[in-house]
Amino acid sequence: MTEYDYWKIFPRMPKKVTIGDIAVRDGFQHLEKFISTRAKIFYAQEMIFAGCRNIEVTNLGNPYLMPQFSDAEEVLAALRSDLFKRRCAKRGINPDDICVTAVTIREGAVDQAIRLKEKGVGPDRCLMMVSTEEQHHFANSGTTLPEYWKEAERAIKKCRDAGLKMCGTVSTIWGSPIAGATELKDAVEFTKRWLSIGASDIEHADHDGSASAPEVYRYFSMILDEIPDTSVHIGHFHETKRVASASVLAALQAGITHFEATLGGMGGQPANFLDDCPVPGTGDYYYKDPRYVGLTCLEDMLVQIDEMGIAHGYDVDRVLWLGRQIERTAGKRLRSEAVINGRTLKEGHPEFGRPGLRKRKEKMGEQPDQKLPADWSDRAVLPEKYR
């Protein structure tokens, strides 16, 4: 007999997930205009009020390269302020349950995170990043892979001594925008290397939308066979071909419980033009059309997971409202379909019903809930060739 219970077909699939928001960092870094400090603070705090407990809000790298993060300390300080703590308390939120992350690609940025922590405004968690394909890694960090691993090892020790967590990102798992195809086994090994040098968790990243659902399922099955603790694995998918929702579903089926996304599906490679001036960023863009670049969309992912009956901890309607506001902040239509069409309503849209149906059924002598002719049998009898 065919099995219809989804969780029996995919026994590793979770009933509850954690979804982090990284719009204020990864989302805004891609826009070619400076998003005000006030707006960054607003969206970070409002996402927390809407249920987010893992939030990435800035990059502590050199602001000359990425001036959109020149206000990093001010944004972080707002999330440590007494005012914010009071606003959390009014909503029954414990600030200690919130993990604030800052990206720190190089050791100097880690040092800055530690200095900020000593001032009482630092992040809870830093993030460093390797790519399994070295050309892509070099474009992001300016180092070779062996050179970077040693730097990461030093940085993790510094973080541990300072009471900070370090997330180790593994990128180009499913392919590189520079060198093409990659090997999944390399990413599995890199994951183990991160954990062996003290990383607290791992972001498994499809940074250019190369992933396909079968390969996502295969990879995360390999990962969980080797490292079954789901709390250390985070799925991070980019959307370039409108298939990221399939990748999210495949990761869920494999057993992944932690994900990241951005409001509006914003994000991608840091902008190399800001307001009216070229800036270094990370160099030339890998893509030809910015409309088809970004992360998986938080609003749409949340609706997808919510309608699957998987617990997530968010106020979905509040997130959809924030998604509509952030389109105004970005100054353009973003990629969420859910902010326009909303959720699938179990009660439907009765206002679109045709008032003549009731009278028509009465005229035909039908019961209000009758769906078949009265003289038909209770069950259809299929022709022999279809049985």
pLDDT digits (tens, 9 = 90+) for 230-270: 999 999 999 988 899 999 999 999 999 999 999 999 998 89
Residues 317/303, Cβ–Cβ less than 8 Å: no
Q: What is the pLDDT of residue 288?
A: 81
Region of residue 283 (left: phi > 0; alpha: psi -120 to 50; beta: else): left
Burial class for 246, CB neighbours closer than 10 Å (0-12, 13-18, 19+): middle
Q: What is the pLDDT of residue 140?
A: 86
Give percent of the chain with pLDDT exceeding 90.
88
pLDDT digits (tens, 9 = 90+) for 316-362: 999 999 999 999 999 999 999 999 998 888 888 888 899 999 999 99
pLDDT digits (tens, 9 = 90+) for 134-177: 999 998 899 999 999 999 999 999 999 999 999 999 999 999 98
Q: Is the pLDDT of residue 311 over 80?
A: yes
Residues 78/44, Cβ–Cβ less than 8 Å: yes
Q: What is the pLDDT of residue 1?
A: 60
pLDDT digits (tens, 9 = 90+) for 63-72: 999 999 999 9
Residues 202/212, Cβ–Cβ less than 8 Å: no
CA angle (240, 246, 250) in 5-degree steps: 130
pLDDT digits (tens, 9 = 90+) for 267-294: 988 999 999 999 999 888 888 887 788 9
Q: What is the pLDDT of residue 345?
A: 83
Residues 86/131, Cβ–Cβ less than 8 Å: no
Residues 300/292, Cβ–Cβ less than 8 Å: no
The secondary element (H helix, E strand) that includes residue 379 is none
For the segment(s) 10-341, the CATH number from 3.40.50.2300, 3.20.20.70, 3.10.300.10, 1.10.3720.10 is 3.20.20.70
| Full DSSP string of 52-104 | --EEEEEE-S-TTT-GGGTTHHHHHHHTTSHHHHHHHHHTT--GGG-EEEEE-
Phi, psi of 63 (to 5 degrees): -65, -15
Structural tokens at position 179: 């060198």
